[in-house]
Structure 1
């Protein structure tokens, strides 16, 4: 590393250097992790595997939406999957004499 004579720098240059050092310190651990991960992925690839295959970790899949099972007869834009709390329109329709089958999609 090159020696820097701090006495030769202006206040503006010293503050810029201080800012650069603070940033380098705060990101040091993250850079080391990224480098280690990259090396491990390269090594796994050399053996014909992915790192996820070797560690048994996978990216979690997003669950598919359950889809609508019931629709509001007064407003078809309002639907309910049948999971969770019953929407007010669903309960109001039942109280008004509709059956659950009347509300099915």
Structure 2
């Protein structure tokens, strides 16, 4: 079925711009829904992978074209500054939080009271201790 859709020609190896080998399928001008319905899972999967590869390349090309147009509109300096300033991941800036709880057995171990409880605190609480006994600035209970 795939061979018929490719015009009777098998996969063609070619080198991409980065030198990696990929499989390029000959394109037919039209693919009917009935032909897709007749394909088995493996044929559909190969078609899906090829479509994904082609779409990814077209998206990158379109992005480059839009970046060129943006640089023409706002100037090359602004385009470069925008690309350099954009973080690769979302950045959250939180103020530093002072510790509220301290491990009496190891005073360098502290916890701010936010996020997951540290192991030393979990073990102590499981052993019957109360959270207030570890609070910084409070007197230990006797």
Give the structure-2-normalised TM-score.
0.39
**If each structure's strand is expressed as a fraction of its own residues, which one has the higher value?**
2
**If each structure's helix is expressed as a fraction of its own residues, which one has the higher value?**
1
Larger RCO of the pair (alpha carbons < 8 Å, separation 6+): 1
Give the structure-1-normalised TM-score.
0.49
